[in-house]
Amino acid sequence: MIAFLGTGLLGANFTRALLKKGEKVNVWNRTADKAKALEAYGARAFEQLTDAVKGVSRIHLTVSDDQAVDDVLEKAAGGFDPGVIIIDHTTTSSPGAARRAAYWKKKGYTYIHAPVFMGPPNALEGTGVMLVSGDQQVVKILEPELSRMTGKLWNLGELPEKAASIKLLGNLFHICLTGGVADMLTLAGSLNIPAPEIGTLLEVLNPGVVAQGRIKKIISNTFDQPSWELSMARKDARLMIEQADTIHKTLMVVPAVAKKMDAWLGKGHAKDDWTIISKDPA
C-alpha cells in the first residue's frame, strides 16, 4: 500500500500511473476535491493526513516547497507505521533536504529526496528523469519501484541533499534557456525572421555541446587566450539591444549580461575572452 500526498497536476498523474500498474494508493490533498477526483481511477481519498498514511509502506510527496513538506509530514507523522519510507518528489532547497533526512532518521524513519525533471504528461506516461540521493541501502531497495515511475532514474549517491542540488541546477538552466529564447524571439521579430527558424538555428548551434565548451573554458581560467574578445562580444550585445529597440522592445537577458561586460571592460579586460564575465569583477 502506498500513500501519495499532494495531488496537483504532477501528483495526480503519478497516482494514476501507479494505479494503472496495479498499486493500491491512498491519496490526500489540501484541496480535498482534487484527491477525491482520483477515486474514479481506483484511489482511496482521505480528508485526514493521519488516515491517509496508516498501513502504508511508502509515502510519496509532491507539494510546493520546503515549508509545505515540513507541515505535511509533521501533521501526517501521527499515522506513520514503523519503518515507513518517505519519498519526496518536491523541488526543495538543498539544506532543507539534508535537514529533513537527519530529522526523520532520528525519529526512526527514512526520508529520501527524489525530485523530477518532468511535467504532468510525463508522470502519467512514466517518461522523464527522476533524481534520487540518500541512504544507498534504501535507494537500492526502492530503485525498481522508482524506475517504474519514470523513463530514467538517476542515482546521485549517498548525500541526502545531492538530488535537490542537481534539480536546482537543472531548473536554473531551464530559466536561463527560456530567458535566452525569449530574447531570440524578440530579436527575430525585429529582424523579420520567422520564429520557426530559431529552432533550426539551435539545431545548428547544438547548445549542449556549446555549453560543455563554455564550462571547460570557464573552469580553466584561461581568459587571456580569447576565442571571442570581450570588446567584440559587448559590441554584439549593443547591436542586439539597439535592434530590439527599433520595435520598442526590451530584451530580458542581454542587458544584464552587458552590464557585467561593462564592469570587466572598466577594469581593462577588453582583449580577454568574453567568458571572464562568469567571474566576480570585484
Tell me what percent of the residues of the chain surpass a pLDDT of 90.
99
Say whether pLDDT at 60 is over 90.
yes
Give the list of residues 6+ apart from residue 133 with CB closer than 8 angstroms, or none: 112, 113, 139, 155, 156, 157, 158, 159, 160, 161, 162, 163, 164
Say whether pLDDT at 88 is over 90.
yes
What is residue 133's predicted lDDT score, i.e. its pLDDT? 98
* CB-based contacts of 104-109 (< 8 A; 24+ apart in sequence): 104/73, 107/77, 108/82, 108/83, 109/80, 109/83, 109/84, 109/85
Give the list of residues 6+ apart from residue 116 with CB closer than 8 angstroms, or none: 10, 89, 122, 123, 128, 129, 130, 131, 150, 167
Domains and CATH numbers, the chain: 2-160 (3.40.50.720), 197-278 (1.10.1040.10)
Say whether pLDDT at 123 is over 90.
yes
What is residue 17's predicted lDDT score, i.e. its pLDDT? 97
- Mean pLDDT score, 222-251: 98
Strands 116-117 and 129-132: antiparallel
Say whether pLDDT at 42 is over 90.
yes
- Mean pLDDT score, 70-96: 98
- Mean pLDDT score, 99-121: 97
- Mean pLDDT score, 208-220: 96
Tell me the whole-structure pTM to 2 decimals. 0.94
Q: pLDDT digit string (tens) for 260-282?
A: 999 999 999 999 999 999 999 98
Place of cell 484541496: 31
Say whether pLDDT at 67 is over 90.
yes
What is residue 282's predicted lDDT score, i.e. its pLDDT? 81
Q: pLDDT digit string (tens) for 158-196?
A: 999 999 999 999 999 999 999 999 999 999 999 999 999
Rounded CA gap, 92 and 113, in Å?
A: 9
- Grid coordinates representing 221 are 581560467
